[in-house]
Structure 1
Amino acid sequence: MRIAVFTDSFYPELGGIQDSVLSGCRELGKRGHQVVILAPRASGHDFAVAGVPAREVDAGKNVSVRRLFSLPVPSSTGQSRLVVPTGRRWRQLLSFAPDIIHTHTFLGAGLEALSAARQLDIPLVGTNHWAIGEFAGYTPFSAQFFRNVSLRAVNRYYNHCALVTGPSHSVIDEMRAFGLRSPHCVLSNPVDPAQFHPVPDERRAMLKRAHGFSDATIVYAGRLADEKKIDVLIRALALIAAEVPDALLVLAGHGSARHRLEHLARALGVGDRVRFTGTLDKATLADVFHAADIFAIASTSETQSMVLIQAMSAGLPVVGARWRALPEYIDPQSGFLAQPGDPEDFARRLTHLLRAKALRQKMGEHAARQTRHFSITTVTSRWEEIYARIGLAVPEGMSRISGA
């Protein structure tokens, strides 16, 4: 099958959407499908922020990347770019002759995908990765006004798709409440168990020593942004430290909130207990997970959280906010849920786990087993099924898929 993928979020920008798009396309290419990715043209600055060479990513066998003119836009990563839509990029696909078009965005590249689907008369599949209503803080509008307007606009876009997927029920349910009419289903983003998997205790102990982590290390990975509520974890650490003297919080990633978080840690007297690692490649991130004891996430903007799934796949128990998609993936056998924005509740849950080694091990083992359902091979097989159904019989196929 020949598949054209449009996205405004892609390498070298760092994030879960970028990871899922690239890994999914690589796996499709390995299976013999021809894939072309149309993504924003990055600048040298974007590569420098990611700490990678300024050259195109190797997307693997049968996968090519075409870059579209884009402009930088303010964001917490400092790398975000948006494609400037012209409605004419469909001509780039004439020689490729795709069987299906998959859009991972409703922004500039998404509008190009819609134009291409119309001009070439090809089915369009859409995936919504964003809890767009949670980003009102980046606009001058009230949260409720922005949520109402943005969600209705997003659904007007996705109603042009033959099928819409989201990585959690929270995404799809919210879209339905604001006017989604297209057939839809929930389909997880993929995790690669070859990179993120449990390791023996001896390996964990060695990695702890190598990274200088204590036996009470909490880790978070991802963007350092306001909507991720990392300040809640730092405030929780200040409470935990009174009962767990060697408690350590490791924050992996980069973002615009870093300086404020560093100042907060110093102000609360835990500056020496919070370690900022900066951006990590996948292999190093997996090692950091193996060297830590608990993964924590207080974010209120998650539609799934790839780093959560990666940490669980690596065998870490988790503590997360009881908000949006996180309760769908953190079950009582894998970890605890805490009240959103409540440092005291996070501190109680984390302290309980830090004091219970056997429980941490049991939860970590269950978390790793649970994430097998989200492996790259399983998720890609599902996408192959969806593409085939839509490409062969749109009306009949959609009625079957939408009930998945």
Structure 2
Amino acid sequence: MSKRQKLHIYFILVTIFLSILIGYRIYLSIYEKDYQSLNAVNIETIETKLIGQTTFSFAVVGNIDNSMRIFSDRIVPLMQDENVDFLISVGNAVFDGAEGKYRLLHRGLTKLDIPYILVPGNNEVADFGSNNFYQHFGPYFYSYHLDNAYFIFLDSTGITSWKWQLHWLNQELETAKNYPYRFVFLGHSLLPQEKVASENSSKYTVDAKTSKTLQQLFSQYEVTSVFSTGYHTNSQQSVGGVRYVVSSGGGGLLLDNEQPYQFVKVMVNPQGFSCTNITAPNRFSPIREKVETLKLYLHSLFYMSIFNILVIIGIFTLFSLLFYSKVLKQQHLYRDFNIDEEASFGTPLRIAMFTNNYLPFIGGVPLSIDRLHKGLLARGNTVLIFAPSYLQNWDDPSDGSVYRCPVLFYTKRGEFPAVNIFNREIGKVFRKFKADIIHVHHPFMLGWTALLYAKRAKLPVVMTYHTRLERYTQYLFGPGMMVKNFLIHLMIKHFANRCDAIIAPSSSTEEYLRNLGVSAIIETIPTGINIEAYGQWTAEQIEQTRAAYVRPGENLLISVSRIAEEKNLDFLVVALEKLKATSSKKFTCILIGDGPERKRLEAKVKAMGMQDTILFLGKLAPSEVVRCYLAADLFVFASTSETQGMVLLEAMAGGCPVVAIRSSGVYDVVHDGVNGFKVPESTNIWAETVKKILEDAELLSEMSGNSREFAKQYSVESITERVLALYRRVILLNASKRSES
């Protein structure tokens, strides 16, 4: 197995691992029941449950620290035995304030069959947990009352200023005087904690000044008891007539061998109240205790954060693999000059071509493929074209060099079949052919099928980028044009970078692919022209064609394209109308081609009164199109969606200079004043340029000769040799990469 294959497998495994983790988190966020303002919900439950009762009991627990196993196994059974009515946690119920810790606490507390109230402690607000507490449990300080008891909850975490709370507390204590029992709860002790060093006292106790103020208030208003949590200790003492109770040991670490897991049970009745420590029996031996404490510590430190740890490790691994893949890719930035690319020039190749449209559909891509196909066969190579079936009758070559793929459905006009790329017969035919190289002509549908076959057979892939696909997004369903264009560019880049080489029909197309971020080999190789086809018509036949459309002394203009929105034919029609209004030369323009816009354009031309000047000839056989080129004086073109504009070269081969709008595919072949003119997308400038040529017979004749000479360098024979040279180079480079891997 090669390095790249191993890297690919690792990448897939890490991606699956991360997907499972993230998917689980998404699952929790969607399907796990959300919870908000639990303190308010539970207080309402407590008030409803104990309405009219003057005898009740509740449990006060501290420092659960997300130790839900200990809490469930050792504390909850005790509460059930003691039959308490509700639970109050006085702080540090979570290990830290992360969302996951709150969810874990919530899962554990929901298993209780009694309502509960959570007081904020240090842990509740740690790691930006204050928002989580507020969202899930409610305000940081508040109060409620039963028939004979008033409950006040304070925020000792520092989130809320004491100045504001003290103002509110005076009013609450004034109201609480009407109740026999007055209880206060906060997350920090007002009295010093045993065994707590002075530098750590702020973690467990309120600062001395605030503590003194609070103690004076509690004594003044004869508060019954103040409950808080602290440094894993439990204590009860009276100061100024107020009982101060510190409750700990609800879970977490037990750093003192004398302190068991426990909670405080508060019993209230008309005769008085009592606070009793309820401890978990059967404490472990000192050695077992240390082991359990260590396990709990590791659980809190590692297991509680394992999701985040694993995600971080997964992301780091993923980026490491990506970086390493880039390093491996660096090994092939330069060509291996030890490879003799000419060594196999005499060896015939077996080439598999995949295209989503082909003959009998007449268009630039099918004609380009057909010419290359014939050129390759003429040089002794074997070609098999995988193309869709069409509704029209068509005679494919008898040598079996075209395989028609099964079709799922056809578009409205039947021009664009959707191939069933999942049909197994396609794969069987491909494997039987035993290709040396794959040539794809579209970055989708059969193009992706070809990539899959190439990967399995370890074959190199060459793609010809024929079409500016972003100019065809109006035919796609989905979001806005900008989004669709972005997705098209992304698809082209992704597909092209999975190929070994790209054939760009023009330098502007190569520039586009480079700007897009394509790193594969890119060769600018235009489509070839069958120059010999232009010699099959006699002068008499050509004159007959010309005479069918214009009288002697008049000019014949020609345009060949699919009659569709992206071909910009509305511009051409309007520009021809302006030309007719301004030029002294009479002319006729024939439009060859068909498409969805034909009927609309014909109606538009008729409404403009141009039906005798602009003639729609529909589809013609390629040989008849050549005859029309030879008969015409000038080729006019308005499309801005071409990668090459193959029809421009075909027209030049027939002696037609070209007037076209400046765009990709035009710059490479039209040289101003030599074989035509490229103009801005302005109907006025376009009409003036055509007028200038038609009214200057000497200029028209000179450019006509230049056009013929220019087109000769694009013969099918010379273009085919360039494509074969690229094939051989890619095959050798692919073999070199496989041997290095």
TM-based fold match above 0.5 = yes
Higher RCO (C-alpha under 8 Å, 6+ residues apart): 1
| 8 Å CA contact retained: 2:508, 2:667 | no
Question: 1:211-360 counterparts in 2 under 5 A?
Answer: 211-212=549-550, 215-242=554-581, 243-244=583-584, 246-332=586-672, 333-340=674-681, 342-360=682-700
2:495 is aligned with 1:154:
no
Aligned to 1:40: 388
| 8 Å CA contact retained: 1:195, 1:286 | yes
Are residues 63 and 185 of structure 1, via their aligned partners in 2, closer, same or farther at CA, if it must alter by over 3 Å?
farther
| 8 Å CA contact retained: 2:556, 2:587 | yes
Render the CA deviation track for 1:158-209: whole Å, top value 9, x for unaligned.
1111111111122222222222121111110111101136988776544312
| 8 Å CA contact retained: 1:318, 1:330 | yes
CA distance in 2, matches of 1:197, 1:364: 16
| 8 Å CA contact retained: 2:409, 2:419 | no
Aligned to 1:5: 353
Gaps of 5+ in 1: 48-53, 398-404
Task: Name which of structure 1's ranges 205-214 and 318-327 shifts more when overlaid on structure 2.
Answer: 205-214
Aligned length, in residue pairs: 384
Counterpart residue type for residue 677 of structure 2: F
Aligned to 2:707: 367
Are residues 68 and 367 of structure 1, via their aligned partners in 2, closer, same or farther at CA, if it must alter by over 3 Å?
same
Are residues 127 and 36 of structure 1, via their aligned partners in 2, closer, same or farther at CA, if it must alter by over 3 Å?
same
| 8 Å CA contact retained: 2:500, 2:521 | yes
CA distance in 1, matches of 2:603, 2:685: 23
Question: 1:39-188 counterparts in 2 under 5 A?
Answer: 39-43=387-391, 47=392, 54-58=393-397, 64-72=401-409, 74=411, 78-86=414-422, 88=424, 89-140=426-477, 141-188=479-526
Are residues 329 and 73 of structure 1, via their aligned partners in 2, closer, same or farther at CA, if it must alter by over 3 Å?
farther
Are residues 4 and 146 of structure 1, via their aligned partners in 2, closer, same or farther at CA, if it must alter by over 3 Å?
same
CA distance in 1, matches of 2:715, 2:423: 35
| 8 Å CA contact retained: 2:550, 2:588 | no
CA distance in 2, matches of 1:155, 1:74: 27
| 8 Å CA contact retained: 2:585, 2:694 | no
CA distance in 2, matches of 1:317, 1:55: 33
Task: Name which of structure 1's ranges 270-279 and 81-90 shifts more when overlaid on structure 2.
Answer: 81-90
SS at match of 1:42: coil
Counterpart residue type for residue 177 of structure 1: N
* Deviation at residue 73 of structure 1 after TM alignment: 5.1
CA distance in 1, matches of 2:353, 2:667: 30
2:533 is aligned with 1:195:
yes
| 8 Å CA contact retained: 1:195, 1:282 | no
Whose Rg is larger? 2
CA distance in 2, matches of 1:37, 1:227: 27
Render the CA deviation track for 1:378-398: whole Å, top value 9, x for unaligned.
01011111111222333779x
- The TM-score normalised by the length of structure 1 is 0.89
Counterpart residue type for residue 122 of structure 1: L
CA distance in 2, matches of 1:334, 1:374: 14
Counterpart residue type for residue 41 of structure 1: S
Aligned to 1:17: 365
CA distance in 1, matches of 2:473, 2:499: 26
| 8 Å CA contact retained: 1:166, 1:186 | yes
Are residues 288 and 331 of structure 1, via their aligned partners in 2, closer, same or farther at CA, if it must alter by over 3 Å?
same
Task: Name which of structure 1's ranges 190-199 and 285-294 shifts more when overlaid on structure 2.
Answer: 190-199
Render the CA deviation track for 1:300-344: whole Å, top value 9, x for unaligned.
11111221111011110110010111121111211011212x221
| 8 Å CA contact retained: 1:227, 1:299 | yes
| 8 Å CA contact retained: 2:575, 2:684 | yes
| 8 Å CA contact retained: 1:171, 1:303 | yes
Counterpart residue type for residue 97 of structure 1: K
| 8 Å CA contact retained: 1:133, 1:143 | no
Are residues 383 and 284 of structure 1, via their aligned partners in 2, closer, same or farther at CA, if it must alter by over 3 Å?
same
SS at match of 1:241: helix
CA distance in 2, matches of 1:110, 1:139: 18
Render the CA deviation track for 1:344-382: whole Å, top value 9, x for unaligned.
121111111111111111111111111122110001011
CA distance in 1, matches of 2:675, 2:453: 43
Are residues 97 and 166 of structure 1, via their aligned partners in 2, closer, same or farther at CA, if it must alter by over 3 Å?
same
Aligned to 1:400: none
Counterpart residue type for residue 85 of structure 1: I
CA distance in 2, matches of 1:236, 1:339: 12
Task: Name which of structure 1's ranges 82-91 and 112-121 shifts more when overlaid on structure 2.
Answer: 82-91
Render the CA deviation track for 1:34-83: whole Å, top value 9, x for unaligned.
1111011112xxx2xxxxxx13322x7x66111112244548x7511232
| 8 Å CA contact retained: 2:590, 2:617 | yes
Gaps of 5+ in 2: 1-348
Counterpart residue type for residue 475 of structure 2: Y
| 8 Å CA contact retained: 2:459, 2:734 | no
Report sequence identity in percent: 27
Are residues 13 and 205 of structure 1, via their aligned partners in 2, closer, same or farther at CA, if it must alter by over 3 Å?
closer
CA distance in 1, matches of 2:378, 2:503: 23
Are residues 198 and 328 of structure 1, via their aligned partners in 2, closer, same or farther at CA, if it must alter by over 3 Å?
farther
CA distance in 2, matches of 1:110, 1:296: 33
SS at match of 2:352: strand
| 8 Å CA contact retained: 2:557, 2:588 | yes
CA distance in 2, matches of 1:389, 1:347: 47
SS at match of 1:310: helix
Which of 700, 711, 716 is equivalent to 1:376? 716
| 8 Å CA contact retained: 1:151, 1:175 | no
Taking only aligned residues, the RMSD between alpha carbons, in angstroms, comes to 2.2
Task: Name which of structure 1's ranges 374-383 and 167-176 shifts more when overlaid on structure 2.
Answer: 167-176
| 8 Å CA contact retained: 1:211, 1:291 | no
Counterpart residue type for residue 339 of structure 1: P
CA distance in 1, matches of 2:653, 2:409: 34
2:545 is aligned with 1:207:
yes
Render the CA deviation track for 1:262-316: whole Å, top value 9, x for unaligned.
1221222212211111111122111111221110110011111221111011110
Render the CA deviation track for 1:90-148: whole Å, top value 9, x for unaligned.
33222211111111111211111111101111111111111011112223543332222
SS at match of 2:546: helix
SS at match of 2:433: coil
Counterpart residue type for residue 10 of structure 1: Y
CA distance in 1, matches of 2:409, 2:692: 44
CA distance in 2, matches of 1:14, 1:323: 23
